[in-house]
Structure 1
């Protein structure tokens, strides 16, 4: 029986996608640097073994890579030659077809595989709750810094993204399109801070920064080029680019997407989350 290769299998959506596929009885090969076989985006010598016996693949771009196409496209050529017939790519609602970063991979995918899908989720709810710069800042100082102003985002639960990914990988007919995925309600960062304050009983405030201030703030922990890209995405949010909801999660999974308060209670109860702040 052929397997489904899940890249980024220890990450936010990869781990959840692999778990949901296994729970449904599908054979999964989790692609990690410490796995067997080992997989590393930056080491082509690991690619053939990871692809052996695989006919579908979930693609999570290399984290922090500003030009993922240069890494991913040679791998996808190799995957097609190895017999992979369906590819599901994780992109972002903020990155259009042919746009920056993974947008170039999105543009190439239909020409490489007859069966494909591109998931374009809005921003993850888990960014405020798990191992992300926002969550770490909330735990350390009780502040959430952004350049989003009063702009709103229909933040999405990573479990819902994984449910759509599992559907796109296993449904009889591939979507063969890109899928905009959102949560049920568009929220401003001030709303996120208020909900976290309510759920945890500890004050969380939204620190409003300018684009340049945020870029400088982020550059302390990542390459300046990537920091500038992220800051520009915040600016787009401030201008209303993410203020929308879609019915896609409900349509494909048969259940509505989960709201932020429910996810916050679930995730913080699991990990301690912002309650770890002392």
Structure 2
């Protein structure tokens, strides 16, 4: 498939990786961001909440990578009208970043998933598990609590998650955007093994060379903890509820989608942790 690609959320965790991989292939890429850098000719202004930015960003685009607006508990109200606008502008292929915790038709991004399947001629929905990058991205609750208090706080209990590297998600996205045959499917994307947060704490302890513990808290307390970071309260409690579902086994599963689609195995957490050991240096 040859076309110009619009990457919404183009400076974010997966978006920048997708944009870089496409550019490395010699394709034409527009990186959508609310604040384009004046010296980056690939960046274009794109704001989900500002429809006047949509038309210019979509000019000559044939495919779009859709990253939902961060922290919005009702992204469908912005994304579905954009999808319709993009189809009217001639876009044929869409790849949506969703979540393993969200099924088609669920409130929010699940509604976008359903609209995409019903309206788009060529589409894919990526449903990744929790990102490994949550443990190293500055400002994220987990990395900050590791640095400041030698702990990871969750409401997951003994539940397990097949954490996935954002690089693997991006690799699947690039295939979904560029493969000659459209995927027209939803892909569950996981790492190679399901791990509890106790397991994560042990691995981080080993590479950081100090003891890191997992401290379980109640769902209500975790929601309050998230909201205290400045996260919108409704969104914080939605994320806390996801932790409760993890505690009851919702993410205890592994899928071979990464290897099936890209031809290489998904990255394991031990390898990821070894490569990021310096990220967990004390902040105190």
* TM-score computed with the length of structure 2 as normaliser: 0.94
In structure 1, what is the Cα distance between the partners aligned to 2:282 and 2:127?
32
Preserved CA contact (<8 Å) 2:155 2:217: yes
Decide whether aligned partners of structure 1 residues 276 and 20 sit closer, same or farther in structure 2, where only a CA change above 3 A counts: farther
Match of 1:234 in 2: 243
CA distance in structure 1 between the partners assigned to 2:44 and 2:166 by the alignment: 26
Number of positions where the alignment pairs a residue of Structure 1 with one of Structure 2: 275
- Residue segments in structure 2 that go unaligned for 5+ positions in a row: 37-42
- Distance in 2 between residues matched to 1:34 and 1:219, nearest whole Å: 26
Are 1:3 and 1:27, in contact at CA under 8 Å, matched by a contact in 2? Answer: yes
Cα distance in 1 for partners of 2:136, 2:239 equals 19
How far 1:266 sits from its partner (Å)?
A: 2.1
State the partner residue of 1:57. 64
| Structure 1: gaps of 5 or more residues | none
CA distance in 1, matches of 2:239, 2:51: 28
Aligned to 2:279: 273
Aligned-residue Cα RMSD (Å) equals: 1.2
Which of residues 44, 52, 73 in structure 1 aligns to 2:80? 73
User: Runs of at least 4 residues of structure 1 off by over 6 A?
Assistant: none
Q: Which residue of 1 aligns with 2:196?
A: 188
In 2, the alpha carbon distance for the partners of 1:93 and 1:122 equals 5
Within a 5 Å distance, the mapping from 1:17-32 to structure 2 comes to: 17-32=18-33
Aligned to 1:37, the other structure's residue is in SS state strand
Shift of 1:277: 2.8
User: How far apart are 1:263 and its partner, in Å?
Assistant: 1.1
**Aligned equivalent of 2:135, options 128, 151, 156:** 128
Provide the C-alpha distance between the structure 2 equivalents of 1:92 and 1:261, rounded to a whole number of angstroms: 23
Deviations 1:193-230 (Å, cap 9, x if unpaired)?
A: 11111111122111100111111111212122111100
TM-score between both structures, scaled by the size of structure 1: 0.96
